[in-house]
A and B are shown apart, each in its own frame.
Chain A
Amino acid sequence: MTTLAAAPVSPLRSEHPVPWKAMARVTWLQRRPALIGLLVVFVACALSIVLGQAGTHATYASFVANGCVQNRFHTPCGNFENWFAENTDLFSAMVIALHVVPVVIGVFVAAPLLSRELESGTFRFTWTQAVGRSRAVVTTLVLLALFVTVATCILGLLLNWFAHPFEIIGIESQWQSGLFDTTGPMLVAWTLFALALGTFLGALIGRTVAAMAVTAATVGGLLVVSFVWLVHQLEAFGALATNRLMPMGLNIGQLNVPGAQYNGPVGSWLVRAWFAGPDGKRLSAAAAYNVIGRMYDGPANGKVDPSRWLSIHHYIYWVSYQPASRFWVFQIIAAAILIGLAALLAFATVRIVRHRA
């Protein structure tokens, strides 16, 4: 049996500086396969965009050189437009790929972050080291957030660059829900949200595969909802109205098309269209279609100038739209909402970790 003298007591440390560099090394050692995989995805996306943009460069240069930006009804412009319309595959693929990036980060980086620790029991090692459990989780999250922010910021800007010729020609618009979520700060925001949600679900569920599955379903589902519905709802908010447009076909109801397609303001987004009657009130859809029917079934036998006919009969065709100047405001508002949610989820995650017994 052993009897020992009392242990010497080390002097207490009054300060505990956050060991950022050390935690960066730990994060790299612990998550090396996932981070390398992520880097490969980022580089592959970036290279694809650069090569795709290079492929459109010559045709777009000819489009500009022929003055098509100012007058697209000029003879050769149609050929360039057709070329772009027929060569959207890579662009569309990249828009889809960048939608998948937040899901990949949520599923393969964020969800296992804590669930694997809890499942394998290694939290009993990590959380009892001098760095402390809360600081370990916070610093790891911040470092990962910095990494994905830089990477997705670059990808978002590259996609903006790739999209520019398509936008000028009028085939695509940055307001379209696919591009809206993958360019500018929105790609960063979605990625940070996926990172925070995956980590939160991992801490909550504590099982790696289940956390990955729930994260994939949640982030993927929210992106689909955003693509199909949410972005359009957001873009309708506070739209301006004009009666100076005459979109082809006199569509009414939801438009959601680039302004360039109907000679609208450059870079604008047409949201909704409706008719106002002689009394200035908005017509119902049925009444509006009745007006259109009267216009084309009249003595002119369809050969009628809609603007003139509507003016004579005291009808006004209204279109609500968002001007190009508002695009970044909407991007920043939407991104701020997502980043705010991400911050709340990160806060909740730290609380779960701190109080997990």
Chain B
Amino acid sequence: MNVVETSGLAKRYRRTWALRDCNLAVPAGRIVALVGPNGAGKTTLLHCAVGLCTATNGNITVLGGLGAGSLDALERVAFVAQDAPLYKYLSVRSMVAVARNLNSRFDQAQAEERLRGLEIPPDRKVGRLSGGQQAQLALTLALARGPDLLVLDEPLARLDPLARHDFMALVMAAVAASGFSVIFSSHVVSELERFADYLIVLANGRVQMVGDIDDLLTSHAVLSGPAEESDLVGGQFTVVQTRKATRRAEILVRTTGESRLPNGWESDDVSLEELVLAYLRDPSASMLPGPLATDELEVSEVAR
């Protein structure tokens, strides 16, 4: 089952296309990181998934074919929006009561236990909580709904490192306990690898790269060798990025397995952060799922 599936999804705000021709099929049981520069369409995609926006073209379904935003979908999809918007004039206890009454299945005992564990006072006004506590409260309310899919829009954006760690620890513990799927957008690329096992990179409203993170890392490599041979070696692979110094060159390439390198060249693993940043620096590069082509050099298909 796919927790999110889009087909030719496009969304236009007046004259600006926030999403274009977006085709995705996100499998269930994954923690999916959605990354991309500002304005890439991350929030729009997530809003479409939870029914906050309607597609201009194409369609989007969740949890195996439910219409995004339908009552059936809303019962099983929990969303924590950017900046965790909650009623700041309400007490934490009242905020929990609001969430309980807006949902047919809501585990109040679980929510209260989590809030006790987080040392969030129930009588305090939401607006007087710290940014980290507000994010934790929003997440607690979402988790208490017992979702099959949890959607988080930039949950770490305004949190300090400690709060980021605590927030994601809460997510991971809940996922470990309940096994639901998570999609979260983030700018904090350096921390993705610790949490996510599936990656979607968006740029300019289009899907630039998507796949299992392990597969993405094993299908890319950093080749380093003499700068004067970089064009020759690069020509044998799908080059994502080339960096040349006076004598040495580093090429980030896509591979499908072992490849023969000339003498003087080395192949190293690529980190997720390097990989994401390389794709973000070159919006024309893409790696999408589809039939693989092979050639005599056993490299993956050219996608540039």
Pair A19/B148 contact, Cβ less than 8 Å: no
Pair A4/B30 contact, Cβ less than 8 Å: yes
The stretch of A123-131, A146-154, A161-169, A175-183 that contacts the partner chain: A123-131
Pair B1/A6 contact, Cβ less than 8 Å: yes
Interface string of B41-76 (1 = CB under 8 A from A): 000000100111110000000011010000110111
Find B79's partner among A10, A23, A124 (CB 8 Å cutoff).
A124
Nearest chain A CB to B185 CB, angstrom units:
14
Count of residues in B whose CB is under 8 Å from the partner chain: 62
Pair A124/B85 contact, Cβ less than 8 Å: yes
State whether the Cβ of A13 lies closer than 8 Å to any Cβ in chain B. Answer: yes
Give the residue name and chain of the A residue nearest to B217 (CB). Answer: A1
The stretch of B190-198, B230-238, B243-251 that contacts the partner chain: B190-198
Pair B74/A130 contact, Cβ less than 8 Å: yes
Q: Which of A1-46 contact B (CB under 8 A)?
A: 1-10, 12-13, 16, 19, 22-23, 25-26, 29-30, 33
Nearest chain A CB to B88 CB, angstrom units:
8
Give the residue name and chain of the A residue nearest to B90 (CB). Answer: A29
State whether the Cβ of B277 lies closer than 8 Å to any Cβ in chain A. Answer: no
Nearest chain B CB to A139 CB, angstrom units:
11
State whether the Cβ of A357 lies closer than 8 Å to any Cβ in chain B. Answer: yes
The stretch of B94-102, B109-117, B259-267, B286-294 that contacts the partner chain: B94-102
Q: Chain A contact residues: over half helix, strand or loop, or mixed?
A: loop
Give the residue name and chain of the A residue nearest to B145 (CB). Answer: A130
Pair B76/A10 contact, Cβ less than 8 Å: yes
Find A1's partner among B71, B102, B103, B196 (CB 8 Å cutoff).
B196
Find B197's partner among A3, A7, A123 (CB 8 Å cutoff).
A3
In the complex the two chains form, what is the Cα distance from A33 to B5 in whole Å? 43
In the complex the two chains form, what is the Cα distance from A13 to B51 in whole Å? 18
State whether the Cβ of B214 lies closer than 8 Å to any Cβ in chain A. Answer: yes
Pair B97/A4 contact, Cβ less than 8 Å: no
State whether the Cβ of A92 lies closer than 8 Å to any Cβ in chain B. Answer: no
State whether the Cβ of B104 lies closer than 8 Å to any Cβ in chain A. Answer: yes
Nearest chain B CB to A126 CB, angstrom units:
7
State whether the Cβ of A121 lies closer than 8 Å to any Cβ in chain B. Answer: yes
Give the residue name and chain of the B residue nearest to A12 (CB). Answer: B72
* B213: A residues at CB distance < 8 A: 1
Nearest chain A CB to B146 CB, angstrom units:
8
* B94: A residues at CB distance < 8 A: 29
Given A7-B181, A8-B179, are A121 and B148 neighbors across the interface (CB < 8 Å)?
A: no
State whether the Cβ of A82 lies closer than 8 Å to any Cβ in chain B. Answer: no
Residue from A8, A128, A136 whose CB has the most chain B CB atoms within 10 Å: A128
Given A9-B1, A121-B83, are A129 and B103 neighbors across the interface (CB < 8 Å)?
A: yes
* B149: A residues at CB distance < 8 A: 7
Interface string of A313-357 (1 = CB under 8 A from B): 000000000000000000000000000000000000000000101
Q: Which of A214-244 contact B (CB under 8 A)?
A: none
Give the residue name and chain of the A residue nearest to B78 (CB). Answer: A128
Pair B197/A2 contact, Cβ less than 8 Å: yes
Find A26's partner among B89, B98, B138 (CB 8 Å cutoff).
B98
Pair A129/B29 contact, Cβ less than 8 Å: no
* B196: A residues at CB distance < 8 A: 1-2
Interface residues in chain A, defined as those with a beta carbon under 8 Å from any beta carbon in chain B: 1-10, 12-13, 16, 19, 22-23, 25-26, 29-30, 33, 120-133, 135-136, 355, 357
- Given A4-B29, A22-B102, A29-B90, 12 more A-B residue pairs with CB atoms under 8 Å apart are A6-B27, A6-B29, A9-B148, A13-B104, A22-B101, A122-B87, A124-B52, A128-B50, A128-B74, A129-B102, A132-B74, A136-B102
A-B pairs with lowest CB-CB distance, top 10: A129-B102, A124-B81, A121-B85, A6-B29, A22-B101, A357-B53, A128-B79, A130-B103, A130-B75, A6-B28
- Complex A-B: 26 CB contacts under 8 Å: A1-B193, A1-B195, A1-B213, A2-B196, A3-B197, A4-B179, A6-B27, A6-B179, A7-B28, A7-B148, A7-B180, A10-B146, A12-B66, A19-B101, A25-B97, A123-B85, A125-B85, A125-B87, A128-B81, A130-B75, A131-B74, A131-B103, A132-B74, A133-B51, A357-B52, A357-B54
